[in-house]
Chains A and B, each alone.
Chain A
Amino acid sequence: MDEQLAKEAVAGDEQAFLQILKNYKVDLYKTALSYLRNEHEAIEAVQEVTYRAYKNLPKLREPAFFKTWLLRIMINYCNDQLKKKKRVVYDDDLLSGHGVEERYRDVEMDEALQLLDERSREIITLKYFHGLKIREIAAVFDCPEGTVKTWLHKALKLLREQLEEKGGEDHGREIG
């Protein structure tokens, strides 16, 4: 991560901001995809997160943690969307359209992640899917590193339990 670029963005340089967002677009998109599991919604999420990040840029205290900060905005947005989604009744045709995009996924893991509480899922997403360091996560959560370690430990334990509950079944990872 280019810290200089981040500083320029926080100072109000729009080109620098655009560049950073474009550098992280793949991370943002994949996070959205893992939560929302739909390509169009994930693209829409990237737009919305760009908007939110731009508006909240003055609140970013530590430019070095730009990526973690962006990912947190994305995760918050996705959590909100998932809550809304539960209230939306889908059109049959749309629903069948969505199914196609879920090939090649570890369905069990998908489901287990969905059953986690928001914080546990967020910690696992940041740590394992984006390879962030405990220190980076602690900085954006504004808490001691020890707390993040405790959360992570708890999250992994919960995830293991979720997976074990389904244990014994055939894996069936590839559908479609």
Chain B
Amino acid sequence: MEERLDEYRKRLDKEEIPADLLDHAIEAGVQMARQEQKRRPRRIWILSVAMVAILLVGFSSIGKIMELIQHDKGLMSAVEHEYYEEIGVSEKKNGIEFVIEGAIADEKGLVLFYTIKTDEKQTNLSFEDIDLKVLDGGKINPSSISSGGLHKRENSKKSSSGMLEFFFRDNLTSREFQLKTAVKGDGVRENFSLNFSLTKEIRMKKVYPLNKTVVIEGQKIDFVEATIFPLRVAIHLKIDPNNTKELLEIEDMRLVDEHGEVWSKILNGTTRTGVTEHEFIYYLQSNYFKEPKELYLAFGKIQAVDKEYREVVIDTEQMKILKQPPGNRLKGLEIYGGDIRMKLYTEKEFPYGIFSEVVDGKGNTVDITSNYMSSRRDEGYTLSGVTIPDLKSYPNPISLKLSFFPEWIIGDEKIKIK
């Protein structure tokens, strides 16, 4: 009996822990209690009201949207502040209806909320092409498009909702748009073309120069500026090229206000972009509508490896890992067709696909068609892989540049934003 209870506990222990979400929940709980002590509780209940709305109402338009954005405090706050705009444009063809429900836009980005309704149940809907044009003159060059939310579902459905996120290099000044896309399901494929316009006034970004150099374990980072948009916060930073370590990822970058409320990194979407080799923009959830008196940028845990080990070097003929950061965490090199895979052993969960660029034995950059990871926590490793068409044609040794790795430099930094 006790053995079986113990086994049950072990199964429970294997559940993934959404650590960041739990931290948010705890902070929100404290804030709820604290605000209630000061005055009557009102707005702070919105999160729970939204959750209840999702559970009870289920498929009202705003309930759907709240469900999609529940992991992003900034987007939730934009909706609470009525910065979300209903669109309600749709097109139906051969049993598939594509609806643009609404949008949130700022100077650099546009998030469209859509629903796809099908006459037949679908298990695997996907987009084939996504193209956004402006109809009132001018051009837009999306620097990134993501269609997160529409993925393979375990249960077939007649209705799926999701978000299309566009971020632009130039300022978004247009008000009239055309979205063209193709939706593919089980045995069907349809093209859609929908025109829509935005009417809500775009809220201007707020820019705060930081001009601060931080040194952690001898490694320097220059923080240039923080730009607060309604959709996200962009932190521009430069890494000192003379550092002895390659700084890979600032894991715990977050905004903190004078009450200790925290806004973390974007959980679902673009978390950072590279400007140059040593210059990056990190994206955090937005506190645009919060207007705190004081605001800080805090962090302290940075993935870093000695520059000498910024690449993992392998030989695909001898099937050997020739070089990797000390500790031999990488094992079990496998090659399947064009896929190179390795197991990364870690004590704690490490949910990153660790490789980015690949270079061949002659120093030429190799095209990667996909980059993936799969967590095998019960066996203690994460499988990281890249897919390279025509892998056999590249001369050995192959170098895989690390973009994440479970080695850290630790500090405790707090930079005043305002």
Contacts and interface: CB of A to CB of B under 8 A. Distances in A.
Contact of A34 (B12, B18, B29): B12
A76 to B, nearest CB: 15
Contacts of B25: 43-44, 46-47, 50
A106 B55 contact: no
A7 interface: no
A55 interface: yes
Contacts of B30: 14, 17-18, 21, 50-51, 54
A97 interface: yes
A25 B1 contact: no
Contacts of A39: 18
B28 interface: yes
B155 A97 contact: yes
Interface size class on chain B is: 35 or more
Contacts of A100: 154-155
A128 B17 contact: no
A25 to B, nearest CB: 4
A54 B260 CA distance: 15
Interface residues of A, number: 47
A50 B12 contact: no
B11 A106 contact: yes
A17 to B, nearest CB: 7
A150 interface: no
A104 B26 contact: no
* Majority-rule SS of B interface residues: helix
A25 B19 contact: yes
A165 interface: no
Most buried by B among A50, A51, A88: A51
A165 B326 CA distance: 55
A159 B48 contact: no
B15 A22 contact: no
B260 A94 contact: no
Contacts of B19: 25
A30 B32 CA distance: 23
A91 B26 contact: no
Interface string B1-43: 1101111110111110111011101111110111010000000
A156 B75 CA distance: 47
A60 B159 CA distance: 48
Interface in A9-57: 14-15, 17-18, 21-22, 25-26, 28-30, 33-34, 39-40, 43-44, 46-51, 53-55
Nearest to B7: A106
A47 B155 contact: no
A46 B22 contact: yes
Contacts of A160: 1
Contacts of A22: 22-23, 26
A44 B12 contact: no
A26 B29 contact: no
Chain B CB within 10 Å — which of A50, A53, A91 has the most?
A50
Contact of A93 (B2, B32, B154, B159): B159
A104 B18 contact: no
B29 A30 contact: no
A99 interface: yes
A129 interface: yes
B34 A54 contact: yes
A38 to B, nearest CB: 10
Among all A-B residue pairs, the 6 with the closest Cβ atoms: A50-B29, A91-B58, A54-B33, A47-B25, A51-B29, A25-B22
11 contacts: A15-B260, A26-B17, A43-B22, A50-B25, A50-B29, A50-B30, A93-B58, A93-B159, A124-B5, A129-B5, A176-B154
Interface of A: 14-15, 17-18, 21-22, 25-26, 28-30, 33-34, 39-40, 43-44, 46-51, 53-55, 88, 90-91, 93-94, 96-97, 99-100, 104-106, 109, 124, 128-129, 156, 159-160, 163, 176
